[in-house]
Amino acid sequence: MGQEESHSEEVDLAQIQDLCIVFMKECPSGALHLHEFKRIFGVASSCAEESLYIETIFHSFDTNKDNTLDFLEYTAALHLILRGNIEDRLKWSFKMYDRDGNGKLDRQEVKRIIRILYKIKLQTSDVSMTPSEICDRIFELVDNNNDGQISLSEFMQGARKDEWVMNLLKLDVNATGWVIQNCGKLP
């Protein structure tokens, strides 16, 4: 049993070393800046909606608010994106929606993210609702106490009880392809 644990730790250490090599190759300064983050995820500066979305994601991972991601923030972000369980990913998504950080989502916060998502990917899908209608439906399905705000617990429960809501609330940045391409394997 001890050997299995040791082997598991070695694999994790090797993966961390691989991530560090990739990080230092991409960010020789030791800090990942927003423009580099956009380049990694293939976001063109000409697309305002995608740019705003990736900026929101970047700032959600910048825990010390220094406008860069250091190696620890970078690995935490990759771990969440690639290996995070649904509960952790929903909590992160809630944080992304909760722009003012008050622990509650109002219609403006939800509508803001829905508008961005709509312009990036929903407009080309078979969704026949406007961003306002999508926001109304989310509140109808998730705001259990009808107070016009969605708490973290309502957010989590709402996402779990309706697949449509889950797909909208669980933000997806599709980073797996980039990591596979650059690391050769998942961290």
Q: How far apart (Å, rounded) are the C-alpha atoms in residues 78 and 15? A: 12
User: What's the number of domains the chain is made of?
Assistant: 2
CATH code at 8?
1.10.238.10
48-92 pLDDT per residue, tens:
777 887 888 888 889 898 999 998 888 888 777 777 788 888 888
Same-domain status, 74 and 113: no
Same-domain status, 19 and 92: no
Which range marks the domain in which residue 128 is found? 86-169
Contact 49, 116 (CB under 8 A): yes
Burial class of 81 by CB neighbour count within 10 A (0 to 12, 13 to 18, 19+): buried
Same-domain status, 94 and 153: yes
Same-domain status, 98 and 69: no
91-116 pLDDT per residue, tens:
888 888 888 889 999 999 998 888 87
